Amino acid sequence: MRLFNKKNLNSNVNYNTDEIENNNRRAVCEKLENIPNVDAPVGWNRIEIAVGGLMYVGFSEVDTKKIICISSQGQSVINCETGEVNFCDENYDELELTAIAEELESEIIHIAGIGGGGLRHFSINGDILVSVAPQYPIEKIIFQPNYKSCFTQPEDCLCIYKGYEIRAYGFSKCGNYIVICDSADLIIFKRV
């Protein structure tokens, strides 16, 4: 039973919350569907790398242009500036959600992916990433620049990913790199 479906004793107004929720849902979905799809925001370049069976990724906190990627193909360190992939020995812990690689001088990297964890969804520049799925199972990653919101200022936002099975997404510590991973692809955006 809904609190507002019956007339309030002190009012002659009958609130139909189902109708209010449905109208709100339609308005939100319409806003999200009208956000333009782009390859990359202005001032960013996009690099796509095919990675079969992608499981986890994590940014280095020290060398912020480097990502650890763990997949069914093995473990690698990827340079976000060049897209260069260097395979290395597998050394990750799915319970602690951490990984290390010799190339990163044994820095403990926090990873995110199929077993949980998370990357930064905001940058020090005020850019924000949000995942939405108004037409589930299709998922979108919305780039919200300069503290904008896709719900209140959709005209200022951009859809930079549309697909299925997002494993992880987020910014590097410096805010100059974004990674979006699904089960088969790793997409890197670098600020130019």
The confidence band for 120, taking pLDDT boundaries of 50, 70 and 90, is very high
- pLDDT for residue 129: 98
Residue 2 in domain: no
Residue 12 in domain: no
CB atoms within 10 A of CB 125: 14
Residue 5 in domain: no
Spatial contact of 142 and 150, defined as CB atoms under 8 Å apart: yes
Tokens of 64: 């912020």
* Mean local confidence (pLDDT), 63-84: 95
Cα–Cα–Cα angle for 151, 153, 158, rounded to 5 degrees: 90
Residue 135 in domain: yes
Helix, strand, coil percentages in the chain from 3-state DSSP, rounded to 5: 10, 40, 45
Residue whose entry in the numeric block shows the structure tokens 């992608």: 54
pLDDT surpassing 50 at residue 1: no
- Report how many domains make up the chain: 1
DSSP-based three-state secondary structure for 103:
helix
Read off the pLDDT of residues 134-183 as tens digits, 9 standing for 90 and up. 999 999 999 999 999 999 999 999 999 999 999 999 999 999 999 999 98
- pLDDT for residue 19: 87
pLDDT surpassing 70 at residue 58: yes
- pLDDT for residue 17: 82
Residue 60 in domain: yes
- pLDDT for residue 66: 97
Q: What value does the mean pLDDT of the chain take?
A: 91
Sign of CA dihedral 90, 181, 139, 177: positive
- pLDDT for residue 9: 53
Name the percent of the chain lying above pLDDT 90.
Answer: 80
Element (H, E) at 21: helix 17-33
Spatial contact of 92 and 56, defined as CB atoms under 8 Å apart: yes
Amino acid at 16: N
Name the percent of the chain lying above pLDDT 70.
Answer: 93
Residue 22 in domain: no
Burial of 175 per CB tally in 10 Å (0-12, 13-18, 19+): middle
Element (H, E) at 190: strand 185-191
Give residue 91's domain range: 44-191
Alpha-carbon span 92 to 183, nearest angstrom:
18
Residue 37 in domain: no
Residue 78 in domain: yes
- pLDDT for residue 15: 73
* Mean local confidence (pLDDT), 32-45: 95
pLDDT surpassing 60 at residue 2: no
- pLDDT for residue 41: 97
- pLDDT for residue 52: 86
